């Protein structure tokens, strides 16, 4: 037991109840109030009692799961605080007015269901990341977020009642990640700078600058976020993406899963190398049943994939990863080795010493069936398992989409394509085994669903493949001019 005089001199407390299955800890928060010199406070999954009227102003790191108060103490002014993490808190408002936290870099209030609004952030000029995942009752973010010039990560996933003008974030020139998945109300509003821009829109008051659009509206100004690398818009109700998305030359990751009203895919940006000196690309278009003009969609997606391949080929840099999920009923013929079912064998012995061998491109055709007999409480996923290889990191092999029966209501076939660079295969391969193969495994069947892998295929990719690769080859049979069913022979989207 810590005595009162000892408590006042404590500088660090860490209680991780999550890993202590047989213990249940209750913290008297009034004891925390007496610790004037705390610099580190981590309380994970602990109960608390009493009222909190003071927190040490010497704190540098504060992580308190289930923080009990509705607001931070008014006398809390920690000039050296760097990270503030309050998951599952009882907060309604983080603080009142303006609080000066000149060194705060990371702020995470995720899963705080009582949080209504974010306060004035003028006093946190160095903030680089703001996470508000599943703060389901938050309705507004203070406009001062627009002056946070160092903000790089903004995650508002499943803030389903957030209803605010998105233009406040379009001046964030340092923003690298924007996650608006599940923010359907947020994406229905934009600022019209000139009244004449609204002349062709219905139900618009021409005398006001802020208008309410239907769910078919686009976030047109998103093209101004030139530093953006990751954009997640899943689970929203827009009909089309803005054409300005092609201006996002740093964009490597685009997630559009469960956008059930999405009808049209615009031209995708030309990808640059990332700061680590490598190329990578992730594109997830899953469970978008209203997506039309599929020939155009395939043209956009595979053109994007080809330009990444060719940029990779023309440089001395590596290709970290390339993963694509799109609707499709047939594996493209470019994947020269194909098999019915979820497994296929592979022999690397002819190519392992070939300096022109670049890696393996894999493709699987899968569908999620309705299965009310499956009562597993899982979200589910599928991914690639290679025979005679150590287990690949999930970031390479797993299907990175969210699966559950509440969202997946249409049994639509999809393609899951992954490129595994030679370096990754060599790193994880058993050096004594050349005969490999892979299985597209269903690691977990999500509740109410059954994941079926219908077909799979691969191609051993060489430099000359990438040099010659075009859409005609992607959809031709044995590199002839005959098109497969994905694109007809007279399609205007075939590049000859």
- Give 321-333 pLDDT, tens digit per residue: 789 999 999 999 9
3-class secondary structure, 396: helix
3-class secondary structure, 7: helix
The dihedral formed by the CA atoms of 35, 39, 45 and 47, expressed in degrees to the nearest 10: 10
Report pLDDT for 167. 81
**146: closest CA among 116, 161, 167, 131?**
167
Report pLDDT for 22. 47
Beta strands 357-370 and 449-462: pairing type?
Answer: antiparallel
Report pLDDT for 150. 97
Beta strands in 228-313 (DSSP E): 230-232, 253-255, 278-284
Report pLDDT for 82. 98
Q: What is the pTM of this model?
A: 0.84
Q: What is the 3-state secondary structure (H, E, C) of 255-282?
A: ECCCCCCCCECCCCCCCCCCCCCEEEEE
The low-confidence residues of the chain, meaning pLDDT below 50, are 1, 22, 188-218, 431-432, 477-496
**Angle at 366 (CA atoms; ends 232, 390), nearest 5 degrees:** 80
Report pLDDT for 470. 80
Cα-Cα-Cα-Cα dihedral sign, residues 210, 213, 215, 219 = negative
**55: closest CA among 26, 20, 90, 30?**
30
**Angle at 318 (CA atoms; ends 317, 322), nearest 5 degrees:** 130
- Contact at 8 Å (CB) between 413 and 328? yes
Report pLDDT for 79. 96
């Amino acid at each position: 037991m810590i005595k009162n005089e000892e408590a006042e001199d404590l500088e660090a407390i860490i209680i991780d109840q999550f890993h202590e299955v047989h213990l249940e800890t209750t913290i008297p928060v009034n004891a925390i109030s007496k610790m004037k010199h705390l610099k580190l406070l981590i309380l994970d999954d602990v109960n608390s009692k009493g009222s909190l009227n003071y927190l040490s102003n010497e704190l540098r790191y504060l992580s308190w799961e289930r923080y009990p108060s509705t607001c931070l103490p008014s006398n809390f002014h920690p000039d050296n605080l760097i990270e503030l993490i309050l998951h599952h808190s009882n907060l309604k408002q983080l603080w009142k007015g303006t609080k000066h936290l000149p060194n705060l870099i990371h702020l995470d209030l995720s899963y705080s269901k009582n949080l209504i609004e974010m306060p004035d952030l003028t006093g946190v000029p160095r903030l680089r990341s703001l996470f508000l995942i599943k703060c389901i009752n938050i309705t507004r973010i203070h406009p001062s977020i627009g002056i946070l010039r160092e903000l790089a990560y903004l995650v508002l996933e499943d803030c389903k009642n957030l209803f605010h003008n998105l233009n406040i974030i379009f001046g964030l020139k340092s923003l690298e990640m924007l996650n608006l998945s599940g923010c359907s109300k947020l994406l229905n509003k934009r600022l019209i700078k000139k009244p004449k821009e609204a002349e062709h829109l219905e139900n618009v008051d021409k005398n006001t600058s802020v208008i309410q659009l239907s769910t078919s509206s686009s976030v047109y100004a998103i093209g101004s976020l030139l530093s953006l690398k990751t954009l997640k818009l899943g689970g929203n109700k827009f009909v089309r993406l803005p054409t300005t998305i092609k201006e996002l030359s740093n964009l490597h990751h685009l997630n559009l899963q469960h956008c059930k009203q999405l009808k049209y895919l615009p031209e995708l940006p030309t990808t640059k190398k990332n700061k680590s000196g490598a190329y990578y690309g992730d594109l997830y278009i899953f469970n978008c049943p209203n997506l039309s003009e599929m020939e155009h969609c395939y043209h956009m997606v595979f053109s994007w994939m080809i330009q990444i391949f060719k940029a990779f080929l023309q440089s001395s840099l590596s290709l970290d990863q390339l993963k694509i999920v799109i609707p499709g009923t047939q594996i493209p013929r470019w994947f020269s080795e194909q098999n019915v079912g979820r497994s296929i064998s592979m022999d690397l012995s002819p190519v392992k010493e070939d300096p022109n061998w670049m890696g393996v491109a894999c493709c699987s055709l899968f569908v999620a069936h309705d299965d009310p007999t499956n009562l597993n409480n899982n979200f589910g996923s599928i991914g690639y398992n290679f025979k005679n290889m150590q287990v690949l990191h999930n970031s390479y092999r797993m299907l990175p989409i969210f699966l559950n029966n509440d969202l997946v209501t249409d049994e639509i076939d999809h393609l899951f394509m992954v490129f595994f660079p030679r370096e990754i295969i060599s790193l994880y391969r058993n050096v004594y085994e050349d005969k490999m193969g892979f299985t597209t495994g269903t690691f977990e069947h999500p509740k109410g669903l059954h994941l079926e892998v219908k077909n799979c295929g691969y191609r051993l990719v060489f430099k000359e493949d990438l040099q010659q690769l075009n859409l005609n080859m992607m959809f031709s049979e044995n590199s002839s001019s005959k098109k497969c069913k994905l694109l007809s022979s007279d399609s205007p989207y075939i590049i000859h």
